[in-house]
Chain A
């Protein structure tokens, strides 16, 4: 992730992280990312994320899966045209099951593919700002700075309870 020079603040307490995040956002500093060992909706809200596009991609996958599998079934039945049990060549009721399975299958594949790709994964190398403690019990906040902002941000991070502040090259 290439970016402006940035400061990384490492926190032990979620409340401290949320407090500094709020202040940084109010002061209109550029918060690049927040690292967390678990999912917190407050972080997403403060970072201003819109509802995830994963929902729409999953819906698209479901529609595509259901229609394509039923399409395959229609093609197969028209290719053979064999009547079974006096039912029509294209029986709507059994095709409901086919549609259902196709919908779920492709919706799930699309949901997984979309969270991976929208999360900018997979990646071979971990970002320089990443600290191993983020998968255990620490929170991190990466803030980009321009000339003259560095000291202000560092002070803000330290005052709010960062146990460590360090520079991360862009």
Chain B
């Protein structure tokens, strides 16, 4: 991060809140139409029934569940960067933490939407909420689906609160530079924050605790999601390594999405002084680690299938590599495990074009991984009599595309209306330089 004065930090970061160029509104408008299209398709699916999708026996968990797991995975790096790296005092997180947290919140919202889309009768979604009831529905707290409901709803609540807590001092900064109606809106959401010693005192303690509480939560959420599969007996699902395997994959995809979003954001809003190439390089280096863990998991899954001696496990993993979904498997291996290895070369990880390209490849690879695991395992389980392949129909394709539109739409609105980098934390990183009159002129004069 370049040396800036405090007022320059405010000016640089809050520049995104000033009127945007026309192209911004054009892109937002197009994305909005994409979302409307998705809503119309969902309406068609509700009116006609789930039969309009490729849903059929035995692939009863099809693309909607692939999307659910994919978006939950994307949600992971936000809390990783905000909470875990905060506890480790990794300074490179500062410039990218806020955007990652926003990404988390939006990704969890979209993941939850796919659970509802997957329901044949979404208007009675509240039946999945576990509480004793008069409808004689049995809330089984042993079920991993109930774990999932609790884990995802807790994760969403915690992510929103953590994000909002970090935003409050910055919202006050926006309030103080706004007039009229905008001032009232930002004033309302900043809760009347004035930065007194008392407020900072309790705020600091709470923020540290939130980071401490979010850290085990982020690990647990994808573990719980993985148990949706691992607690079933289907070959390819029933594995004890699923929890760490899913968590590593989630962080891998989330970091790639951070690069995918931040590289254009940095360019469009001119954040080169705040989001340095070194910050992006640090994300790339972390991606090497997560890529290696994911690659190791792929190998160890094959070892377990062989070592178990279980004929069905061996069969599933053989089909995975050379069967109907073999091309998707090899695409997954290349994108997730081979492509990130190019980041070992400094030239690759310091070039924006290659950073962006590899990040996109990892996004594709991680989506494909969910496809291979969820659909591939269901399509060919125990006996050939009940095998059956899933084929994508336009309905779920449209809803998947609409989910990406919604994600980008929300992110663009966030970048326009909220400080996309934490002002207070960027200033805290500058403290030693900007502190006293004797060491350096604080206002850069």
Q: Which residues of B contact A40 (CB under 8 A)?
A: 200, 431
Cα separation A111 to B210 with both chains bound (whole Å): 7
A 26-62 binary contact with B (CB < 8 Å = 1; else 0): 0000000111111111011001010111110010001
Q: Which residues of B contact A127 (CB under 8 A)?
A: 194
Interface residues of B in 169-201 (CB under 8 A from A): 169, 172-173, 175-177, 191-201
Q: Which residues of B contact A112 (CB under 8 A)?
A: 161, 164-165, 206, 210
Q: Which residue of the partner chain, among B157, B192, B224, contacts A108 with CB atoms under 8 Å?
A: B157
Question: Does A114 lie at the interface of the complex (its beta carbon under 8 Å from any beta carbon of B)?
Answer: yes
Total A-B pairs, Cβ < 8 A: 201
A153 to chain B, nearest CB (A): 18
Question: Does A145 lie at the interface of the complex (its beta carbon under 8 Å from any beta carbon of B)?
Answer: no
Contact B194 A134 (CB under 8 A): yes
Q: Which residues of A contact B210 (CB under 8 A)?
A: 108, 111-112
Cα separation A35 to B195 with both chains bound (whole Å): 5
Question: Does A98 lie at the interface of the complex (its beta carbon under 8 Å from any beta carbon of B)?
Answer: yes
Contact B209 A54 (CB under 8 A): yes
Q: Which residues of B contact A100 (CB under 8 A)?
A: 216, 220
A 78-102 binary contact with B (CB < 8 Å = 1; else 0): 0110101101000100110110111
Q: Which residues of B contact A152 (CB under 8 A)?
A: none
Contact B213 A108 (CB under 8 A): yes
Q: Which residue of the partner chain, among A98, A109, A130, contacts B161 with CB atoms under 8 Å?
A: A109
Contact B158 A105 (CB under 8 A): yes
Q: Which residues of A contact B140 (CB under 8 A)?
A: 82, 84
Interface of A is mostly: helix
Contact B142 A84 (CB under 8 A): yes
B 134-173 binary contact with A (CB < 8 Å = 1; else 0): 0000111110000100110010011001101100010011
Q: Which residue of the partner chain, among A44, A122, A137, contacts B443 with CB atoms under 8 Å?
A: A137
Chain A: interface residue count, which band? 35 or more
Can you name the residue of chain A whose Cβ is closest to the Cβ of B426? Answer: A38
Choose the segment among B4-12, B19-27, B66-74, B402-410 that binds chain A (4+ C-beta atoms closer than 8 Å): B4-12
Question: With A39-B428, A73-B141, A112-B210 in contact, do A55 and B205 touch (Cβ < 8 Å)?
Answer: yes
Q: Which residue of the partner chain, among A16, A121, A126, A136, contacts B6 with CB atoms under 8 Å?
A: A136
A residues contacting B by CB (< 8 A) are 12-16, 33-41, 43-44, 47, 49, 51-55, 58, 62, 69, 72-73, 75-77, 79-80, 82, 84-85, 87, 91, 94-95, 97-98, 100-102, 104-105, 107-109, 111-112, 114-116, 118-127, 130, 132, 134-137, 161
The 6 closest A-B pairs by CB, nearest first: A123-B192, A115-B206, A137-B6, A52-B205, A119-B199, A15-B436
